[in-house]
Amino acid sequence: MAEVHVIGQIMGATGFSESSLLCKWGVHTGPGFVSPWAAWKLLSGVREGQTQVDTPQIGDMAYWSHPIDLHFATKGLQGWPRLHLQVWSQDSFGRCQLAGYGFCHVPSSPGTHQLDCPTWRPLGSWREQLARAFVGGGPQLLHGDAIYSGADRYRLHTTSGGTVHLELSLLLRHFDRYGVEC
């Protein structure tokens, strides 16, 4: 089996109008076509997590420095891992409000990569927008797969949120046995 190591950090986020941000992240893998040969197995590491809440004191970037360390085994390239993110803001009462959804593919070349993942959130009707401005809350996705899948996106009307910054390093092993050069 070929192996992929994803080691890095969710560094932080910029460009959000809210402060006191936290990020829930998860990694979604294949299958591209449904095939028993193309299954990705997570050998070590946690597939999802949540960062702490950070309130920027200096400047506008919220820093999480959340470590990511994943070890996958696979027999095929289909369903290459995708990292999906949900950024939430927390107010002084402890309530959480959605600030943005985003996803990015895990890089496929070995080495260290700086990633900037843009985010978006559902807009809702003008009534919902007004309520969000005064009371908080606002529309959220019922199923998280719209974050990383293109199907059914045409139904959504969204507005943009800020950007999440990640630094991920990739180590690949045994891909030459499967005819993949890297």
Partner 1 sequence: MAAAAPSVFLLMVNGQVESAQFPEYDDLYCKYCFVYGQDWAPTAGLEEGISQITSKSQDARRALVWNFPIDVTFKSTNPYGWPQIVLSVYGPDVFGNDVVRGYGAVHVPLSPGRHKKTIPMFVPESTSKLQKFTSWFMGRRPEYTDPKVVAQGEGREGKGSPPWAGWAW
Candidates 22, 117, 146, 147; binder of partner 1 (CB under 8 A) is 22
CA distances from 81 to 76, 153, 157, 170, 174 (A): 12, 20, 26, 12, 17
Which of 9, 14, 19, 158 binds partner 1 (CB under 8 A)? It is: 9
Question: Can you read off the two tokens belonging to residue 100?
Answer: 């943005």
**What does the DSSP 8-state code read for residue 107?**
P
State the nearest-atom distance from the C-beta of 174 to partner 1, in Å. 9
Residue 95 contacts partner 1 per CB under 8 A: no
For residue 180 the two structure tokens come to 């993949």
Residues from 61 through 80 that contact partner 1 (CB under 8 A) = 61, 63, 65-69, 71
Q: Which residues contact 121 (CB under 8 A, 6 or more apart)?
A: 98, 99, 100, 101, 138, 158, 159, 161
Dist CA 39 CA 52 (whole Å)? 32
Contact 27, 81 (CB under 8 A): yes
Nearer residue to partner 1 within complex by CB, 66 or 121? 66
Cβ 18 to partner 1 shortest distance, Å: 16
55 near partner 1, rule: CB under 8 A: yes
- Closer CB to partner 1, 32 or 111, in the complex: 111
**Could you say whether residue 49 binds partner 1 (CB under 8 A)?**
yes
Nearest C-alpha neighbor of 94 from the set 127, 58, 136: 136
43 binds partner 1 (CB under 8 A): yes
For the bound state, the minimum distance from the C-beta of residue 142 to partner 1, rounded and expressed in Å, comes to: 22
Q: How far is the CB of 34 from partner 1 (least distance, A)?
A: 24
Using the Cα atoms of residue 48, residue 11, residue 112 and residue 84 in order, give the sign of their dihedral. Answer: positive
42 lines the binding site for partner 1 (CB under 8 A): no
* Total chain residues near partner 1 (CB under 8 A): 32
Q: What's the rounded Cα separation, in Å, for the pair 140 and 121?
A: 8
**Interface with partner 1 (CB under 8 A):** 5, 7-9, 11-12, 22, 43-46, 49-55, 58, 61, 63, 65-69, 71, 94, 111-112, 169, 171
